[in-house]
Amino acid sequence: MSDQDYGHAIGFEVLRRGTPVIASDGVQIGTVRRVSNAVRERLFDGVTIDTPAGQRFLDAPEVERIYERAVVTTFPSAEADEHLQQQANRAAAIAKNTTTARQLKRMGQRARDAWERR
């Protein structure tokens, strides 16, 4: 996909879930899961993306431009692991694989699903 195929530049507020995330060398590294922003300041904080290795967080300074049909990063695909931060469930990391951790993970997933459906 070339820059012309990405469409017009847009604001982060209208970025849609499932939009491809493209590295600076043109390789797709994932798709948009959700957009993070500082609500009071209305500032773009970053994007959580779905990758083959799981969910990762793409910080705002690593985003070169947001288009209608793509999000382009400032780094090539070979450096993606260095720039993308792994998303982790804090409660599960503390309790490891206990019954309580599994229950908290299920509750958190249900809450996230309900939030995304709103």
CATH number at residue 18: 2.30.30.240
Instruction: Say whether 2 sits in a helix, a strand or coil.
Output: coil
Tens of pLDDT, residue by residue over 24-65, are 999 999 999 999 887 777 889 899 999 998 889 999 999 999
Give the pLDDT of residue 117: 83
| 94 and 81 both lie in a single domain | no
More confident residue, 97 or 98: 98
| 74 and 101 both lie in a single domain | no
| 15 and 44 both lie in a single domain | yes
What mean pLDDT is predicted for residues 78-96?
Answer: 69
What the block records as the tokens of 66 is 């947001």
| 21 and 72 both lie in a single domain | yes
Give the pLDDT of residue 4: 62
| 46 and 60 both lie in a single domain | yes
Number of structural domains found in the chain: 2
Choose among 71, 53, 59: nearest CA to 16: 71
- Do 57 and 94 form a contact (C-beta atoms < 8 A)? no
Domain extent at residue 100: 88-118
Give the pLDDT of residue 30: 95
| 77 and 117 both lie in a single domain | no
| 7 and 64 both lie in a single domain | yes
Please tell me the pTM assigned to this model.
Answer: 0.70
